Amino acid sequence: MKNKVVKGLLVTAIAATAFAGCGAKKSSSVTEITYWNFPNFAGDKEFKKNEDYDAALIKAFEAKNPGIKVKYQKIEFSDGPAKIEAAIQSKTAPDVIYDAPGRVITWASKGHLVPLDHVDTSKLLESAVKASSYNGKLYMYPQGVAPFTMGVNKTLTDELGITNLLPLAKEGRNWTVEEYEKFLRAAKEKLAGKEDVSPTLFYTKSQAGDQGPRAFISNLFNSWITDKDVSKYTINDEGGVKALEWTKKAYDAGLLGKGIALEAKDAVEGFKSGKLVSTILFSPGLAKQVEKFEYKFLPFPNSSGKATYEYLVAGPAIFDNKDAKKIEAAKKFIDFMINDADWGKRTLLASGNFSAVKGVTGLYEGEELKFAETLSSQFGPYYNTIAGFSQMRPLWFNMVQGVLNGQQTAKEGLDSFVTNANKTIAEAK
Amino acid sequence: MKHKTKKKKIDYSGYIFILPILTFFSVFVLFPMLRGIQLSLYSFTKRDPIFVGFKHYADLLLKSNDATIHTPFMKSLFNTITITAIAVPIVVLISIFIAVTIYDKKPAVRSFFRGVFYIPAISSVVSITVVWAWIYHPQFGILNYVFKNIGLIKESVDWLGDPRTAIYAIIAILITTSIGQPIILYVAALGNVPKDLLEAAEIDGATPWQVFRKITWPLIRPTTLYIVVVTTINSFQIFALIQLLTAGGPNYATSTIMYLVYKAAIIDGRHGLASAMGMILAIIIAIISIVQFKVLNKGTE
C-alpha cells in the first residue's frame, strides 16, 4: 500500500514537471508576430546578407515599437512555398510574409489573408494595386515593381561585331521580329566553331521562370496570354500561333539553343557566365548578378513596334491568424517596412525593385536601371493572379515542348492549351 | 462428438514488447494512410475543406468527367508502369550477373566491386542528378561527345528533351541507382548456396548453366522475390529524378504518378487530389506485389 502511494506521488510529480508551462498565459503585454521572408533584400550596401538586412529592419522596428516583438524566419525560393503551404495546413502560418501576388492572391482567394483596407491605394501604381487585389480588396501592400525583359551581353556583341544590329539607339529600344532574327542569325554565324556559346536560350523545361518564354511568345506578333480583363486565355489567336510557328522554325534553325530540357536557371547561369549572347529572362534583380561584362536591357521583339512586359510586384501580406492584436501589430510592421522615413526607401532599394508609388522615380544610378524604370507604362495585363494559375503552368511548358518536338502544330498546341487552361479557371473556383 | 478444446493461455506480456513498433506503425503509417483516404474525399480549394466524395477519383480515371488532370494522370500512369516494367527485370538481371561474377572472387576484390556498385545507392540523389544532367546536356554533354566520336550519332541528341529518348534516359539512371542493394543481397544469398550441392551437380556432368538454373536459382528465389518487390515499389515511386531532371516533360513523356502527387500537394495545395492519386498508386502497388508474391513464392517457404 505504501508502495502504491509513493508510486502515485512520483507519477504525479513527473507529470506536473513535464506539463509545467503548458497553458500558462503570458502576462506580458508584448505582442509577438512571426515574419517569413525569401531572400528578397540582397541589395543593401551595409547588410549584404538577406537575413542580416531583415534582422536590422526588425531591430529598428522593435526600437520604435517596444510593445511588438518580431520573430523572423528565412525561407528559400526552392522549398519556401512548400513550407508556407504546410504551415497554412497545420494552422501555423506566419503573420507577415513578403512575397508576390502569384501566391498571395491564391491565399487570399482561400480566405487565409487579412484585407489591407487601411492602405491608401490612390498613390500607388494602378497595375501594382490591381495585381495585389482580389475581389476589389487589397491583400498585398505593393512596395516594388520591376519588368521582366530580355538582356544582351554587349561586351560579347562588341567582340562579335554585331552590336549595330541591336535596337539600342531606337526609341524605347523597340525592335521587330525580323530585326531580332537578323541579329540571331548574325550571332550564330559569328559564333561558328564556338560550340559552347549560343545566340540565346529558349528554355521550356518547367515552370521555373516560365514568364520568360510566355512573354517572348506573347510579344513576337503582339498577342497576349489572356484577355485584357484577365478573364480567359487568348494566346491561340492569330498572333500567338504565328509567334509559336516562328519560334519552332527558329528553334529548328539552331537560333534559340536547345532548351526543351533546360530551365530558367540554365539560361540565367549561361548568360552570367558569357555562354549566351542574349537572354529571354532578365530583370533589374538579375542584372545585379552580372559582374563580368557590360549588359543592356532589351525589349521583347514585337511586330507592333512596342513591347509589352510581364512584371514583378513585391510586398508584404498578412495572414489571418484570428488574433486581432497580432493583425494590428503586423499592420504596423508592414507600414514601417514601406513608409518609415529611413527604412521604407532602404527596404525598397535592398529589394532592387522600382517604387510602386506613382511618380517616385530616379532611385537608382546608371543608364540601364533608368531605362528599365521607364518601362512600367508598358506593363501588360497581370495574369499571375488568375484562378487556377498554377495548374495552367504545366499545361504551357508541356505544350511548347510538344510543338518544338514536332508532336503537334503550333495551332493544335495553342488551341488545346487554351481549352484546358480555361478549364483550370473553372476548376479552381 | 464433442471436441474437448483446451483454452490456450496467452501471455499478454508479449504485447508489451511489440508496443513500441506498434505505436510507431500506428502513428506514422496506419494513421497517415487512413487520413489519406479521408483527405482524398475532400476538396481544398477554399479555406475549409469541402466534402466531394469520389469526385477526385472520377476526375483522374474517367475521361467523361472532362477534368484537366485526366490526360496527365493517364500518361503518368502509363509512364510509371513502363518505367517499372523495364527497370525491374534489368535490375534483377544485371545484379544477378554481377553477383555471380564477383561472389567467389577474393574478399578484397568482392568488397571493391560491392562498394563501386553501392556508391550510387548511398549517394545523394541531388548530386547524382547534377552529374547526369551534365552527361545528358544537349550542348555540352559528355554522352553526345562520346557517341559522336565513336560514330554512333551524327548530331547532338537532346536526351532529356526528346520524347523518344527521355524516359529511357531516366530509366538508365534509375537502374544505376537501384542495383547496389540487390548486388549485395545476391552476393550474400549466393554465399549461402551449399557448395556440396553445386559440386555434386558438376560431378554428375551438369553444365554451368544447368547448375545455375536447377540449383542456384531456386535456392536464391526468396532473395529474388524480395528484390523484385522492393525494386518494383521503388520504381513505382520514382520522383526525385523526374522532379530534378525533366519536371515530367517533354510533353508529359516522363511524368510519373509520384511527380503529379508532389505537384498537386506541394505546389498547388490540392491535397485531396494528391491523396486520391496516392491511394490509386498504393492499390496498384499492392495488387502487383501480391501477384509477385504468388508467382515467385511458389516452392519457397
- Verify that A155 and A87 share a domain, yes or no: no
Q: Do B161 and A258 touch (CB under 8 A)?
A: yes
DSSP string computed for A136-195: TEE-B---EEEEEEEEEEHHHHHHHT-GGGS-TTSGGG---HHHHHHHHHHHHHHTTT-T
pLDDT computed for residue B44 by the predictor? 84
| Pick from A56, A60, A37: nearest CA to A48 | A56
Which residues are registered as beta bridge partners of A72?
A: A35
Label residue A206 exposed, middle or buried (CB < 10 Å: 0-12, 13-18, 19+).
buried
Model pTM greater than 0.90?
no
**Cα–Cα distance between A230 and A232 in angstroms, integer?**
6
Contact criterion met (CB < 8 Å) for A260 and B161: yes
Q: Which amino acid is at B100?
A: V
A418 and A364 in a single domain? The answer is no
Domain boundary (A355, A376, A397) is at: A376
Judged by DSSP in three states, A74 sits in: strand
In Å, the largest CA–CA distance within chain A is 100
Per-residue model confidence (pLDDT) at position A18: 47
Contact indicator for A336, A163 with CB cutoff of 8 Å: no
Can you tell me the distance from the alpha carbon of A242 to that of A128, in angstroms, rounded to the nearest whole number? Answer: 30
Same domain, A276 and A397: yes
Burial of B74 (0-12, 13-18, 19+ CB in 10 A): middle
Q: B211: distance to nearest CA of chain A, Å?
A: 48
User: Is A82 near chain B, with CB under 8 Å?
Assistant: yes
Same domain, A156 and A305: yes
A418 and A348 both lie in a single domain: no
- According to the model, what pLDDT value does residue B299 have? 59
Cβ separation of B46 and A405 shorter than 8 Å? no
Does A116 share its domain with A207?
Answer: no
- Position B30 scores a pLDDT of 94
Element (H, E) at A316: strand A310-318
Q: Are A42 and A50 in contact (CB under 8 A)?
A: yes
Domain-located, residue A93:
yes
Nearest to A427 among B67, B72, B269 (CB): B67
Residue A114 included in any domain: yes
d(C-alpha A223, C-alpha B139), whole Å:
31
- Domains of chain B by start residue, with CATH: 56-296 (1.10.3720.10)
Residue in B32, B292, B276, B69 with CA at minimum distance from that of residue A388: B69
Report how far residue A400's alpha carbon sits from residue A213's, in angstroms, rounded to the nearest whole number: 9
Residue with cell 535490375: B91
Q: Which of A137, A103, A107, A104 is nearest to A119 (CA)?
A: A137
Is residue A245 domain-shared with residue A159, that is, in the same domain?
Answer: yes
Query: Quick one: which H or E segment has residue B174?
Result: helix B166-178
Are A287 and A154 spatial neighbours (Cβ–Cβ below 8 Å)? no
Interface of chain B toward chain A, CB-CB under 8 angstroms: 45-47, 66-68, 72, 136, 138-140, 156, 158-163, 166, 245-252, 263, 266-269, 271
Has residue A410 been placed in a domain?
yes
Residues of chain B with C-beta less than 8 angstroms from the C-beta of A257: 139
C-alpha cell at A247: 519560334
Residues in chain B, total: 301
A164 close to A373: Cβ distance less than 8 angstroms: no
Chain B residues with CB-CB distance to A263 below 8 A: 247
A273 to chain B, any CB pair closer than 8 A? The answer is no
CA B273 vs CA A85, A251, B39, B48, B220: distances in Å:
15, 36, 8, 15, 41
Task: Among B162, B247, B263, select the one facing A205 at the smallest CB separation.
Answer: B247
For chain B, say whether A427 makes contact (Cβ under 8 Å): yes
Q: Which residues of chain B are within 8 Å of residue A427 when distances are taken between CB atoms?
A: 67-68
To the nearest whole angstrom, how far is the Cα of A260 from the nearest Cα of chain B? Answer: 5
Looking at residue A101, which CATH number applies to its domain? 3.40.190.10
The rounded distance, in Å, linking the Cα atoms of A54 and A42 is: 10
Residues A278 and A337 in one domain: no
Phi, psi dihedrals of residue A99, rounded to the nearest 5°: -150, -155
Grid coordinates representing A360?
517616385
**Residue A67 domain-assigned (yes or no):** yes
Q: Report which residue type is found at B209.
A: W
CA distances from A88 to A68, A204, B260 (A): 23, 30, 21
- On whether residue A69 sits in a domain, the answer given is yes
- pLDDT tens by residue, B234-252: 999 899 999 999 999 899 9
Cα angle for residues A307, A312, A318 (degrees, 5° grid): 155
State the residue for C-alpha cell 478549364. Answer: A423
- pLDDT tens sequence for chain B (301 residues): 455 556 677 788 888 999 999 999 999 999 999 999 999 999 987 778 889 999 999 999 999 988 999 999 999 999 999 999 999 999 999 999 999 999 888 889 888 988 888 888 888 889 999 999 999 999 889 999 999 999 999 888 999 999 999 999 999 999 999 999 999 999 999 988 998 998 999 899 989 899 988 999 999 999 999 999 999 999 998 999 999 999 998 999 999 999 999 999 888 888 999 999 999 999 999 999 899 888 887 755 4
Write out the H or E segment, with its range, that includes residue A6.
helix A2-18
Helix axes A238-252, A211-220, angle to 10 degrees: 110
The pLDDT of residue A274: 94
Has residue A68 been placed in a domain?
Answer: yes
DSSP-assigned letter for residue B9: P
CB nearest B251 (choices: A85, A401, A423) = A401
Q: What is the pLDDT of residue A286?
A: 87
> In angstroms, rounded to a whole number, what is the distance separating the alpha carbons of residues B297 and B300?
5
A424 closest CB neighbour out of B68, B161, B263 = B68
Q: Count up the domains in chain A and report the number.
A: 2
Report the alpha-carbon distance of residue A258 to residue A246 in Å, rounded: 15
**Going along A27-121, which residue ranges are E strands?**
31-37, 68-74, 96-99
Instruction: Give pLDDT, residue A24.
Output: 44
CA B298 to chain centre: 22
CA distance B250 to B75: 12
Q: Is residue A113 assigned to a domain?
A: yes
* Whether residue A154 sits in one domain with residue A73: no
Whether residue A316 sits in one domain with residue A304: no
Closest C-alpha to A106, from A384, A404, A418: A384
Burial class (CB in 10 A: 0-12, 13-18, 19+), A194: exposed
Q: Do the Cβ atoms of A261 and B166 come within 8 Å?
A: yes
Q: How many CA atoms lie within 13 A of A344 on its CB side?
A: 15
Judged by a CB distance cut-off of 8 A, whether residue A274 touches chain B is: no
Parallel, antiparallel or unpaired: strands A278-282 and A295-298: unpaired
Query: Inter-chain contact A196–B247, Cβ cutoff 8 Å?
Result: no
Q: pLDDT digit of tens for each residue in chain A (429 aa)?
A: 455 555 555 445 555 544 454 444 444 689 999 999 998 898 888 888 889 999 999 999 999 999 999 999 999 887 788 889 889 888 899 999 999 998 899 899 889 999 999 999 999 999 899 999 998 999 999 999 999 999 999 999 999 999 999 999 998 899 999 999 999 999 999 998 887 899 999 999 998 889 999 999 999 999 999 999 999 999 999 999 999 999 999 999 999 999 999 999 999 999 999 999 999 999 988 888 888 899 999 999 999 989 999 999 999 999 999 999 999 999 999 999 999 999 999 999 999 899 999 888 888 888 999 999 989 889 999 999 898 898 899 999 999 999 999 999 999 999 999 999 999 999 887
Write out chain B residues lying below 8 Å of A262, CB-based. 138, 161
Phi, psi of A261 (to 5 degrees): -105, 20
Range of the domain at A405: 147-311+384-428
CB B231 within 8 A of CB B213: no
Do the Cβ atoms of A149 and A282 come closer than 8 Å? yes
Residue A17 lies in a domain: no
Specify whether A120 is located in the same domain as A177: no
pLDDT value at position A48?
A: 81
Return d(Cα A269, Cα B81) in angstroms, integer: 36
Identify the H or E element spanning B89. Answer: helix B70-102
- Per residue in B266-300, pLDDT (tens digit) is 888 889 999 999 999 999 999 998 998 888 877 55
Name the residue among B158, B159, B249 with its Cβ closest to that of A398.
B249
Residues of A in contact with B139 (CB under 8 A): 195-196, 198, 257-258
Q: Both A155 and A196 in a single domain?
A: yes
Q: Distance between CA atoms of A65 and A343, rounded to whole angstroms?
A: 14
Bridge partners (DSSP) listed for residue A354? A145
| Cα–Cα distance, B282 to B233 (Å, whole number) | 9
